[in-house]
């Protein structure tokens, strides 16, 4: 194997021109087919420039596109690696087939390649952050000579995960709740699938999947179960799954550990540790079928068969990850009061926005998340009444203000369309895509009227089902739909939309006039805290939901000026310091940290040692760093191995270490 510099010319042209290995493990990837004459390098580059719009992939998916992926992995807990084979079926995108396949990898050990059962030459180019090391596979002459546009080949690659894999977290028994068995789970969004196996790691490419996963512990994946899944204690077993709906690589998901399941709906199961599964069942079973019913009425019937939830160990870095069939969820939603289950409404909504209809690149991430937040709030309003929509939006607006303030109001990362050239999507990731994206859709909703917008929703998701699109295609779809209704006043409204400003302006969008029915009590109580002589009483918050408490705390934080003594009193009298609801506890600690309360740092450090969700971890570390940098560094060092690699890397940047 030789090592050369990456050239990759043409592979990172953006849409519309705007935009030390460990012991290796082996995977195989296969591709079969026919084709005609070698195209020139210039022709291949021209095709890529015309068809490839994702700057975060080094693959040549404009030349060869993945149509099916089959994995056959052994989950090796002893060596903390996946071992097995991967098969890719690739379709030629050229009239004359490309002479090589280029795939994304990041810290993957490759040991062999075969094309249509014949050995193929390959080169793993040098690694360069943030995109990794492209794998170039030279196709045999006979394959290139016989593969015209539309023909397929099968590529088999022998590869191995390494200890630098950014997508997998391996937990020792001591890191799990019952301390009996190890645990492994994946998190591939945004560009981490390439650290598990070579692939076209872009949301612009979707493929069907087959999974064969060998493990001594129960296993789930982002597909429908096939065959017998009854575990035999201490015995390795093959767990098979299939995903017949094409999905992008970032939705590849697998988890294995001491997992039990319980029914939470007609089409839904919850999976978690044996000690937690009943609590998870209670938390979710009341609302699961209701969520599905409202979502299907708003859009169209759910297309994935089952909708299940895997409640992961506490180091999971997100609130939820919308992996098809099995949403991966943080245990912080299991609060014993059913007040944090809106996370499930959000992840369920992703079954349409993100999973079925996907952003073509991470530059257009708002199409995934803005739509999902909008649908989540419509689901909430369908269950709890229209004021719930605005109340949730008020909470989201505060989160958006915090994110914009953190970046700076003129920062590139506060735009809806964000350039990702030479950028790691993890650095860009924030509430902006979620809330600013939501506000763009909410603006369109109010502009055309709810009745008209509700006609557009199923049209949009039907038109783009199974596909990926960018912001410009969204614009065209929206304009064509409403102009096509033949309503002249509506056409005039559509003509007033400042698409350029909405998509490219940094900072906050115009703030709507929210219905404050559910927020007034929160605002009134926060106003009382402006008076340093106000004496709090536990009855002040009697009857307030956890979400209302968050609005109250957010308003107090916005007012600023609270003394350390007053912050301590708030936490004690309102019993925030003993709250089992992490949303409430974390919101209180942010106030206490800003008040420079020297006593809160111990509670903050304790919370940071048991919760790995970045929503809480990053702002709390930033606040702790301001109050007591030594304790922040000590707390991070103590819990470093507890955090997921994605979370760990982001906190290191936040703490500048």
Which residues have a catalytic role annotated?
A: 347, 434
Which residues lie closer than 8 Å to 195 by C-beta, 6 or more apart? 105, 106, 107, 108, 132, 161, 164, 165, 166, 167, 168
Q: Is 131 in a helix, a strand, or coil?
A: coil
Handedness of CA 549, 550, 552, 557 (dihedral sign): positive
Which residues lie closer than 8 Å to 222 by C-beta, 6 or more apart? 209, 241, 243, 247, 251, 252, 253, 254, 323, 324, 325, 326
DSSP 446-515: HHH-HHHHHHHHHHHHHHTTT-EE-HHHHHHHHHHHHHTTT-HHHHHHHHT--HHHHHH--SPPPPP---
189 known member of a binding site: yes
615 known member of a binding site: yes
CA angle 226, 231, 236 (to 5 degrees): 95
492 known member of a binding site: no
DSSP 380-425: HHHHH-THHHHHHHHHHHHHHHHHHHHH-TT-GGGSSS---TT--H
Spatial distance between the Cα atoms of 615 and 629, rounded to a whole number of angstroms: 20
Q: How many residues does the chain have?
A: 657
613 known member of a binding site: yes
Q: Which pair of structure tokens corresponds to residue 216?
A: 């001594």
Neighbouring C-beta atoms of residue 493, cutoff 10 Å: 16
Q: Which pair of structure tokens corresponds to residue 642?
A: 């507890």
1 known member of a binding site: no
- The residue whose two tokens read 């060869």 is 64
According to DSSP, the residues that pair with 159 across neighbouring strands are 110
DSSP 143-168: HHHTB-TT-EEEEEEEEE--TT-SSE
Q: What is the pairing mode between strands 135-138 and 121-124?
A: antiparallel
Q: Is 627 in a helix, a strand, or coil?
A: helix
**Cβ–Cβ under 8 Å, residues 57 and 103:** no
165 known member of a binding site: no
Neighbouring C-beta atoms of residue 279, cutoff 10 Å: 16
Q: Which pair of structure tokens corresponds to residue 565?
A: 């003594």
Q: Which pair of structure tokens corresponds to residue 653?
A: 């940047």
Spatial distance between the Cα atoms of 221 and 239, rounded to a whole number of angstroms: 9
521 known member of a binding site: no
420 known member of a binding site: no
Across 292-411, the runs of DSSP E, i.e. the strands, are: 308-311, 320-321, 326-329, 358-359
CA angle 464, 501, 373 (to 5 degrees): 45
Q: Is 172 in a helix, a strand, or coil?
A: coil
Spatial distance between the Cα atoms of 43 and 96, rounded to a whole number of angstroms: 9
Spatial distance between the Cα atoms of 575 and 362, rounded to a whole number of angstroms: 41
574 known member of a binding site: no
Q: Is 370 in a helix, a strand, or coil?
A: helix
**Cβ–Cβ under 8 Å, residues 67 and 12:** no
114 known member of a binding site: no
Neighbouring C-beta atoms of residue 225, cutoff 10 Å: 18
614 known member of a binding site: yes
Spatial distance between the Cα atoms of 457 and 486, rounded to a whole number of angstroms: 18
318 known member of a binding site: yes
C-alpha 607, offset from chain centre: 23
Which residues lie closer than 8 Å to 78 by C-beta, 6 or more apart? none
319 known member of a binding site: yes
Q: Annotated binding residues for a peptide, as ranges? A: 187-189, 317-322, 613-615
Q: Annotated binding residues for Zn(2+), as ranges? A: 346, 350, 369
């Amino acid at each position: 194997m030789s090592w050369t510099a990456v050239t990759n010319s043409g592979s990172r042209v953006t849409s519309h021109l705007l935009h030390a290995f460990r012991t290796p493990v082996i995977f195989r990837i296969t591709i079969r087919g026919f084709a005609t004459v070698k195209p020139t390098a210039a022709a291949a580059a021209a095709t890529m420039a015309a068809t490839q719009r994702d700057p975060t992939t080094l693959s040549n998916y404009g030349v060869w596109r993945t149509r099916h992926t089959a994995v056959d992995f052994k989950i090796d807990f002893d060596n903390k690696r996946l071992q097995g084979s991967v098969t890719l079926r690739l379709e030629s995108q050229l009239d004359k087939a490309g002479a090589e396949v280029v795939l994304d990898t990041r810290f993957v050990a490759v040991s062999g390649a075969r094309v249509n059962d014949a050995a193929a030459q390959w080169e793993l180019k040098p690694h360069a952050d943030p995109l990794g090391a492209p794998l170039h596979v030279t196709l045999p002459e006979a394959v290139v000579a016989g593969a015209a546009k539309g023909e397929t080949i099968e590529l088999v690659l022998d590869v191995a995960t390494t200890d630098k894999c950014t997508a997998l977290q391996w937990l020792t028994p001591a890191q799990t709740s019952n301390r009996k068995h190890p645990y492994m789970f994946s998190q591939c969004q945004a560009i981490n699938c390439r650290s598990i196996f070579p692939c076209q790691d872009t949301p612009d490419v979707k493929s069907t999947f087959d999974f064969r996963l060998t493990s001594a512990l129960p296993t789930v994946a982002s597909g429908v179960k096939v065959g017998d899944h009854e575990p035999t204690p201490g015995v390795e077993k093959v767990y098979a799954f299939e995903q017949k709906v094409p999905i992008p690589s970032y939705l590849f998901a697998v988890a294995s550990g001491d997992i039990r399941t319980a029914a939470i709906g007609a089409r839904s199961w919850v999976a978690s540790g044996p000690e937690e599964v009943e609590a998870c069942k209670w938390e979710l079973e009341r609302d699961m079928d209701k969520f599905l019913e409202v979502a299907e009425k708003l859009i169209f019937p759910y297309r994935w068969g089952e909708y299940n939830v895997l409640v992961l160990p506490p180091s999971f870095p997100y609130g939820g990850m919308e992996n098809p069939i099995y949403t991966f969820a943080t245990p912080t939603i299991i609060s014993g009061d059913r007040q944090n289950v809106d996370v499930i409404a959000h992840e369920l909504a992703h079954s349409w926005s993100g999973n079925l209809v996907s952003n073509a690149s991470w530059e257009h991430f708002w199409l995934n998340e803005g739509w999902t937040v909008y649908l989540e709030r419509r689901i909430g309003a369908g269950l709890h009444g229209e004021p719930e929509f605005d109340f949730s939006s008020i909470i989201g607006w505060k989160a958006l203000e915090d994110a914009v303030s953190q970046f700076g109001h003129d920062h590139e990362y506060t735009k809806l369309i964000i350039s990702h050239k030479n950028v790691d999507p993890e650095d860009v990731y924030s509430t902006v895509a979620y809330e600013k994206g939501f506000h763009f859709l909410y603006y369109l909703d109010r502009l055309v009227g709810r009745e008209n917008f509700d006609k557009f929703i199923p049209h949009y998701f039907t038109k783009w089902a199974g596909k990926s699109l960018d912001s410009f295609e969204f614009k065209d779809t929206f304009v064509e739909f409403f102009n096509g209704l033949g309503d002249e006043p509506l056409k005039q409204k559509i003509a007033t939309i400042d698409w350029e400003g909405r998509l490219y302006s940094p900072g906050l969008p115009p703030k709507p006039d929210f219905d404050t029915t559910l927020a007034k009590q929160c605002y009134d109580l926060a106003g009382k805290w402006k008076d340093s002589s106000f004496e709090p009483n536990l009855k002040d918050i009697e009857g307030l939901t956890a979400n209302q408490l968050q609005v109250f705390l957010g308003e107090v934080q916005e007012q600023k000026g609270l003394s350390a003594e007053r912050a301590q009193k708030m936490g004690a009298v309102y019993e925030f310091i003993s709250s089992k609801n992490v949303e409430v506890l974390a919101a209180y600690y942010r106030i206490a940290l800003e008040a420079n309360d020297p006593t809160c740092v111990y509670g903050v450090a304790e919370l940071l040692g048991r919760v790995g969700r970045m929503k809480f971890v990053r702002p709390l570390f930033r606040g702790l760093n301001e109050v007591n940098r030594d304790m922040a560094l000590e707390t991070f060092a103590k819990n470093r191995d507890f955090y997921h690699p994605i979370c760990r890397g982001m906190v290191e940047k936040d703490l500048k270490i």
